[in-house]
Amino acid sequence: MASSDGSASGHAPHAKYQRLIAAAGQVPVAATIVLHPCDETSLRGVLEAAEVAGG
Note whether residue 50 is domain-resident.
yes
Residue ranges making up the domain that contains 39: 29-55
Whether 12 is in a domain gets the answer no
pLDDT score of 54: 82
**Measured between alpha carbons, how far is residue 2 from residues 5, 6, 8, 11 in Å?**
8, 6, 4, 10
Q: How far apart are CA 53 and CA 16, in angstroms?
A: 33
Residue 48 falls within a domain, yes or no? Answer: yes
Number of structural domains the chain divides into: 1
Distance CA(49)–CA(1), nearest Å, equals 48
Asked if pLDDT for residue 1 goes beyond 50, the answer is: no
pLDDT digits (tens, 9 = 90+) for 5-45: 455 666 788 999 999 999 999 998 878 776 677 789 988 98
Name which of 34, 36, 27, 30 is nearest 48 in CA terms.
Answer: 34
In contact, 13 and 7? CB cutoff 8 Å: yes
